[in-house]
Amino acid sequence: MHSAERDRIILNLLEEQRFVSFRELSQKLSASAATLRRDLERLQDAGKLKRVRGGAQVGEDAELAGFHLQGVPFHENVGRNRAAKEAIGKAAAALCKPGEAVIIDGGSTTLQMCPHLEPLRLQVLTNSLHIVSALLQQPNTGVSIPGGVVFREQNIVLDPFVDATTRTFHASRMFLGSAAVTRYGLMQSDIILVQAERKLLNLADELIALVDSSKFAASAAHQLCDLSRVHTLITDDGIDTASAKMIEEHGVSLITVSP
């Protein structure tokens, strides 16, 4: 197959999926690993894509801006299981220590931490404009945001690549949600979201997952991280026995709260 034809197939896959794995390219193009590496390097040099761990994805902010995230939009999700999310957010805030640096990932459950943070004088890195808005009302809370593109469905800033802000930030813990929790780990519905969140995971010593019990019956396509990577998971007391056992078998500290 000529290189121009391989390029066309690669770019078509990216247009459809936004991310394509090295394994998928190998299967579809029947090309050697060395040939695929050269193809991806050439297309990256031309600004057509960005090489990332395990494959390639769209590379320019202008291209990212034209996409929409998969999953439930924030304005629809924020009211679901509201009482449980408020209790989970309060319990998560109680894990923070005065003056420490934390990452609060965007989400309708992590947002519920904000009313309880003002006395703690935290330094917060967040990709959520909703969380930024809530924390701006707290003069003693420092707020940083990563660079990237605003995705309106979730009102978050995402960039799967490295930027100056995240290179210098280190957090004692990161608080995050997920679209689903399964035996495969914390799951998300969108690969761009996964790539951006994985960048933030590496900046924190501990991961604290905030998920209401409905997430154990949900499904999502993309693995964010293994359960063994999670230090603590906070959920409501609607969690079923099998799910609780699964969490604990992976060495995760489980906290349940009552709405």
Q: What is the pLDDT of residue 221?
A: 84
Q: What is the pLDDT of residue 62?
A: 37
Tokens of 21: 């794995």
Whether CATH 3.30.1130.10 fits 74-257: no
DSSP state string for 68-120: ---S--HHHHTTTTHHHHHHHHHHHHTT--TT-EEEE-SSTTGGGGGGG-GGG
Residues of the chain within CATH 3.40.50.1360 domain(s) are: 74-257
Looking at the DSSP bridge assignments, the partners of residue 182 are: 185
Q: How far is 35 from 50, CA to CA, in rounded Å?
A: 17
**pLDDT by 10s per residue, the chain, length 259:** 778 888 888 887 876 677 888 888 888 888 888 899 898 988 888 777 888 878 888 765 434 444 555 555 555 565 678 999 999 999 999 999 999 999 999 889 999 999 999 999 999 999 898 999 999 999 999 999 887 767 666 667 776 555 555 668 899 999 999 999 999 999 998 777 888 888 899 899 999 999 999 999 998 888 999 999 999 999 999 999 999 999 999 999 999 999 9
- Sorted by sequence, the CB contacts under 8 Å of residue 143 that are 6+ apart come out as 124, 126, 132, 135, 136
Residues of the chain within CATH 1.10.10.10 domain(s) are: 3-59
Looking at the DSSP bridge assignments, the partners of residue 55 are: 21, 52
Looking at the DSSP bridge assignments, the partners of residue 149 are: 158
Nearest to 59 by CA among 18, 92, 98, 104: 18
pTM strictly above 0.85:
no
Q: Domain spanning 3-59 has what CATH number? A: 1.10.10.10
Q: What is the pLDDT of residue 240?
A: 96
The dihedral formed by the CA atoms of 120, 146, 213 and 17, expressed in degrees to the nearest 10: 180
